[in-house]
Amino acid sequence: METSTPALTDPRLADVPYSVVRHGRVTSLKEAASLRGVKPSAVIKTLVVRRDEDDYLMILVPGNRSISWPKLRKHLGVRRLSMPSPEEAHDATGYVRGTITPFGSTHDWPVIADQRISGVEISIGGGAPGVSITIEGDLAITLLKADVADITVRLRADE
């Protein structure tokens, strides 16, 4: 079944090389990576972070890592950040949690990409369950005008 999403019709993706992978719902990072044909570190999570009221950021995090709040706050020069509720994240992006991606978002929030996305092929959400976009990390960074920084920490080996 061909699923069209706002992400797949994002004009930034016109005339650039990428591929779309469609699969069923997944229950783990390992399963998502296997179905997408990439390493777990190449599965990119897009997390919405609230900087202030009606001021959000999209943070791109490799699948085997999590946000380092101290690193992110230091990079942004702020003392406080928070995660919005699922409803707020939907209002800010047009996507439900688990499908959020900067591509096709209803708002053009600033994007911060972990530095480990650079120089590798990545698989980022395609805006619907089981839909992903495989694209070179550096190209995604350029298209999204992402700020690149060391903002994550490795998850435990068993995750």
Instruction: For 14-46, write each residue's pLDDT tens digit.
Output: 999 999 999 988 989 999 999 999 999 999 999
Nearest to 62 by CA among 145, 159, 127: 159
CA distances from 108 to 35, 121, 156 (A): 29, 23, 32
End-to-end CA distance of the chain: 31
Annotate 38-106 with three-state secondary structure.
CCHHHEEEEEEEEEECCEEEEEEEECCEEECHHHHHHHHCCCCCECCCHHHHHHHHCCCCCCCCCCCCC
pLDDT at 1: 46
CB 130 within 8 A of CB 26: yes
Q: Kindly report the pTM of this predicted structure.
A: 0.94
Residue 135, H or E segment: strand 131-136
pLDDT at residue 3 is higher than 90: no
Q: How confident is the model at residue 159 (pLDDT cuts 50, 70, 90)?
A: very low
Calpha distance 156→108 (Å, rounded): 32
Tell me which DSSP letter residue 155 carries.
P
| Length reported for the chain | 159
- pLDDT tens digit sequence for 100-111: 999 999 999 999
